[in-house]
Amino acid sequence: MTQRRIGVGMIGYAFMGRAHSHAWRNVARVFDVPLEPDMACICGRNAEAVAAAASKLGWSSHETDWRRVIERDDVDLVDVSTPGDTHAEIAIAALGAGKHVLCEKPLANTLEEAEAMAEAASTSDRVAMVGFNYRRVPAVELARRLIADGRLGVVRHVRAVYLQDWIVDPDFPLVWRLRRELAGSGALGDIGAHIVDLSQHLTGDAIASVSGLTETFVRERPLPGGGGRGAVTVDDAALFLARFAGGAVATFEASRLATGHKNGLRIEVNGSLGSLAFDLERLNELELYESEGFARVLVTEPDHPWLEAWWPPGHVLGWEHTFTNQARDLLCAIGDGVACAPTFADGLQVQRVLDAVLRSSERGAWVDVQTST
């Protein structure tokens, strides 16, 4: 079969860049997709490092200026895998240049930027997706379908945590993720964004109001280059209560100092007829209660989401597969015109919730989540 091809240019080559490269490399080898990606170029500011990354990760060429990437004719899709403070400029320019865009989460570091991005996406005819990759965990999508099909009845409770412990050591250095000017926020935007998105995605409902707190337990840390300690200017942990528009109530917690938890995203939903729970550290499983007890459903059957393209029942997937599944859906959106989700508008809505949490934390009171106008 001859297959249409799509040129991909990726900005960023760190952790997310590696994960996205893996997806672009494998998606057409696993799935039947309408477009086959060409890994055209990868971009980073350090020429030597990005050249090595291109070679290592399988990209045909490399650039050191993202503006060059969006000018290239062999790039149809721009994959923005940089830190959040650069998302808006790159993504808006890419859309303006007629490129499709995949942008890592959170959509932006500020609400204003996120609004501009959503506006740019809404006036473009290109596909713009934000990378909430955990929507592409098969167990999560199965959960969403069960809820959408009414199997749980009316949703009453959501409880979601995202617990990590990688900065529990007070001598862990003051990396860029711990500085507000670069990272926007701490645990809230980095991992809290995931559980906000998932809670809304799973329930098909929107968070309407929140009451939150943020806390920084370790207020000074060693400077990375040596020479004393500097102030941590983002939250170590963020906790909030929420009311959904549809009436459900929820607790949320994101922390990077929850000792013993490595990637502990757990979300539970209780409805009037049933309940379910998902834990990212056991991402092939869904806990489902309908009558006699919580069943551990191994989500590896051919009729489970995305699974037919992978392996036989019981042959489990890993974390990186979420990116490959995401790439598949993005290619279907571009090539077949399937509706794309999550859109930049979805990403903006998550930002509005996070913004409301921060405002609530400052005021010590409930605040409403801003709605679109």
**What residues between 226 and 285 interact with its own copies by CB under 8 A?**
237, 239-241, 243, 247, 249-251, 253, 255, 257-264, 270-275, 280-284
Nearer to its own copies, 91 or 239 (CB): 239
Question: Which tokens belong to 315?
Answer: 């042959």
Closest by CA position to 195, among listed 242, 165, 156, 162: 162
CB of 250 to its own copies, least distance (A): 8
Q: Which of residues 10-69 bind its own copies (CB under 8 A)?
A: 15, 19, 21-22, 25-26, 29-30, 55-58
Closest by CA position to 89, among listed 61, 120, 64: 120
Residue 160: half-sphere exposure toward Cβ, Cα within 13 Å = 26
CB of 65 to its own copies, least distance (A): 25
Closest by CA position to 131, among listed 160, 100, 106: 106
Would you count residue 82 as binding its own copies (CB under 8 A)?
A: no
Only segment of 6-14, 110-118, 317-325, 348-356 that touches its own copies (CB under 8 A): 317-325
Q: Which of residues 181-220 bind its own copies (CB under 8 A)?
A: 211-213, 215, 217
Using CB under 8 A, pick the residue from 111, 230, 320, 335 that binds its own copies.
Answer: 320
The Cβ of residue 272 has, within 10 Å, a number of other Cβ atoms equal to 10
CB of 64 to its own copies, least distance (A): 20
Question: Which tokens belong to 5?
Answer: 């091809």
Would you count residue 4 as binding its own copies (CB under 8 A)?
A: no
Nearer to its own copies, 49 or 97 (CB): 49
CB of 119 to its own copies, least distance (A): 32
Nearer to its own copies, 201 or 261 (CB): 261
Closest by CA position to 246, among listed 197, 202, 205, 211: 205
Would you count residue 159 as binding its own copies (CB under 8 A)?
A: yes
CB of 294 to its own copies, least distance (A): 5
Per the CB < 8 A criterion, the answer to whether 17 and 42 are in contact is yes
User: How many positions of this chain bind its own copies (CB under 8 A)?
Assistant: 86
Nearer to its own copies, 239 or 332 (CB): 239
Using CB under 8 A, pick the residue from 5, 68, 72, 156 that binds its own copies.
Answer: 156
Only segment of 6-14, 119-127, 305-313, 349-357 that touches its own copies (CB under 8 A): 305-313
Question: Which tokens belong to 331?
Answer: 């290619």
State the Cα–Cα distance between residues 280 and 356, nearest whole angstrom: 26
CB of 339 to its own copies, least distance (A): 27
CB of 281 to its own copies, least distance (A): 6
| Long-range contacts of 310-319, Cβ-Cβ distance < 8 Å, separation of 24 or more | 310/30, 316/284, 317/138, 317/283, 317/284, 318/283, 319/263, 319/280, 319/283
SS3 at position 100: strand
Question: Which tokens belong to 32?
Answer: 């039947």
Only segment of 67-75, 104-112, 117-125, 296-304 that touches its own copies (CB under 8 A): 296-304
CB of 245 to its own copies, least distance (A): 14
Nearer to its own copies, 124 or 185 (CB): 185
Question: Which tokens belong to 290?
Answer: 């309908």
Using CB under 8 A, pick the residue from 166, 176, 181, 362 that binds its own copies.
Answer: 166
Nearer to its own copies, 111 or 309 (CB): 309
Quote the Cα angle for 42-48-52, to 5°. 60
Encode burial over 200-224: b for 16+ CB neighbours within 10 A, e otherwise. bbbbebbbbbbbbebebebeebeee
Using CB under 8 A, pick the residue from 49, 182, 206, 298 that binds its own copies.
Answer: 298
State the Cα–Cα distance between residues 373 and 371, nearest whole angstrom: 6
Nearer to its own copies, 92 or 137 (CB): 137
